[in-house]
């Protein structure tokens, strides 16, 4: 990043992609690798846990979803704290909580303690959503912001793939099932520890330091050290008005935005997590005589062939297509795939055709709302309420995910797989309509999107 005379914030907005952006992506993205692994590995572990402890359907549903309801709480709490105390004070704390919860889960003596430890881990996962997203959006330039924040989220793809690979490796190695599921859960502590170490070296968000705390000189020095080169600083870098929570949620513009970001993310996560965490059960319903290893192999194929390309295609095309437009495209085709499964006769009894259509739903989930809900929530709110807005959206989304995972076994028993996926089709339609409430942030600075453009006091220092 070269020295210029346009000011710190303008420098951030106009900076070409460079190594410091990549460092921020890796630091933030490692958290999402851990989030994804910890959340989705439970789907593979549930089959083995069920055989050992013999829980009821209700307890099985609670175990699969408890980390998600905890993430609902964690996103709200840590999102608000990151706006009031600063991003850096929260950054790393949530990763440590994830690691402790994952390790403790591996030593659970029974179902009750396993639920408790998964809840603790989920608090950290929820807290990681708003802080990681906003840290990256506040470091990003306006031209590549969707790509950079999307890259952070796309680390979820690697976590999704790592889960089935670990599960297959442990099962194929002949390790007893009562040890295999403990290893599956406990291994999530390793990347969490790496995240803590990486994040200790990352400075406070320069936008937060300059615009909320009013200390442009500190922001300048931190960013210069992190980027490895001198950054421009002028009197244009001024403190903005800090919104109160009540003022934020009663502002018509931000309230409509919140309904849009939280609503779309809620309906998406209901569908996505319900299907993903219950995927071994879904594939058992399609092919009841398939072995556990075969079902997990099919899960891995769906993730690798359909989901992973969708993630990275979304990252590469989002800033060209538009963040809002890509979300509309994803909801539309994802819904069509679920509708086809629900309406085409016998599709749920034909393994290959089912995997093709089900895989298409995953592709458009990633090439659409799974990526864009995360990105949009990180860029549509003012700097003083950015992690709060993202945290509320992510928290409500994780409540939707909790509902999806918790009710999926019950809905499948009551309406069959076809009926359950028709309900998911309705949620996809709702997501498409709610997206229409949102503005298109493509190519715009964070300050112009959120009206963080009128300073009320200046504390900047000329370089």
Confidence of residue 50 (pLDDT cuts 50, 70, 90): confident
Cα–Cα distance measured from residue 101 to residue 90, given in angstroms and rounded to the nearest whole number? 17
Phi, psi (deg, nearest 5) at residue 239: -70, 140
The whole-number average pLDDT for the span 425-440 is 96
DSSP state of 347: G
pLDDT in tens, 318-369: 999 999 999 999 999 999 999 999 899 888 888 889 889 999 999 999 999 9
Cα–Cα distance measured from residue 45 to residue 68, given in angstroms and rounded to the nearest whole number? 16
pLDDT in tens, 224-259: 777 666 655 554 445 667 788 999 999 999 999 999
CB atoms within 10 A of CB 235: 14
Question: Which of 1.20.120.80, 3.40.50.920, 3.40.630.30, 1.20.1250.20 is the CATH number of 8-213+220-443?
Answer: 1.20.1250.20
- Considering only residues 15 and 316, tell me which one the structure prediction assigns the higher pLDDT: 316
End-to-end CA distance of the chain: 16
The whole-number average pLDDT for the span 186-198 is 89
Any idea what the Cα angle at residue 35 is, between residues 278 and 444, rounded to 5°? 110
The model carries a pTM of 0.84
């Amino acid at each position: 990043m070269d020295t210029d005379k346009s000011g710190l914030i303008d420098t951030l907005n106009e900076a070409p992609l460079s190594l410091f952006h990549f460092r921020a992506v890796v630091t933030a993205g490692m958290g999402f690798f851990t989030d994804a692994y910890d959340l989705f590995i439970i789907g593979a572990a549930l089959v083995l846990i069920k055989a050992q402890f013999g829980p009821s359907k209700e307890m099985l549903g609670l175990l699969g979803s408890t980390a998600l309801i905890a993430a609902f709480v964690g996103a709200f709490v840590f999102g608000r704290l990151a706006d009031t105390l600063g991003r850096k004070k929260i950054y790393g704390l949530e990763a440590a909580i994830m690691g402790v919860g994952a390790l403790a889960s591996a030593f659970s003596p029974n179902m009750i303690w396993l639920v408790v430890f998964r809840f603790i881990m989920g608090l950290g996962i929820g807290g990681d959503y708003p802080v990681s997203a906003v840290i990256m959006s506040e470091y990003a330039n306006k031209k590549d912001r969707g790509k950079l924040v999307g890259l952070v989220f796309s680390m979820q793809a690697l976590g999704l793939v790592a889960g089935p690979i670990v599960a297959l490796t442990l099962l194929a190695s002949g390790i007893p099932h009562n040890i295999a599921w403990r290893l599956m859960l406990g291994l999530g502590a390793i990347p969490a520890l790496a995240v803590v170490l990486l994040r200790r070296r990352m400075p406070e968000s320069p936008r937060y330091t300059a615009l909320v705390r009013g200390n442009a000189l500190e922001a300048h020095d931190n960013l210069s050290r992190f980027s490895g080169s001198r950054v421009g600083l002028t009197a244009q870098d001024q403190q903005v008005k800090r919104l109160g929570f009540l003022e934020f949620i009663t502002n018509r513009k931000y309230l409509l935005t919140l309904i849009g970001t939280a609503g779309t993310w809620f309906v998406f996560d209901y569908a996505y997590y319900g299907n993903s965490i219950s995927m071994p059960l879904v594939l058992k319903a399609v092919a009841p005589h398939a072995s556990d290893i075969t079902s997990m192999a099919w899960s891995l194929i769906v993730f690798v062939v359909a989901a992973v390309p969708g993630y990275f295609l979304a990252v590469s095309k989002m800033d060209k297509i538009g963040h809002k437009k890509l979300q509309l495209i994803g909801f539309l085709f994802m819904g069509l795939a679920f509708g086809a499964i629900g309406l085409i006769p016998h599709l749920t009894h034909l393994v290959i055709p089912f995997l093709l259509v089900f895989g298409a739903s995953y592709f458009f989930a990633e090439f659409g709302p799974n990526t864009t809900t995360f990105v949009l929530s990180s860029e549509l709110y003012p700097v003083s309420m950015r992690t709060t807005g993202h945290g509320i959206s992510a928290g409500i989304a994780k409540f939707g995910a909790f509902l999806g995972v918790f009710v999926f076994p019950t809905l499948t028993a009551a309406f069959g797989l076809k009926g359950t996926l028709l309900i998911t089709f309705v949620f996809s339609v709702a997501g498409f309509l709610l997206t229409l409430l949102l503005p298109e942030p493509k190519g715009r600075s964070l300050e112009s999107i959120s009206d963080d453009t009128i300073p009320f006091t200046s504390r900047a220092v000329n370089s």
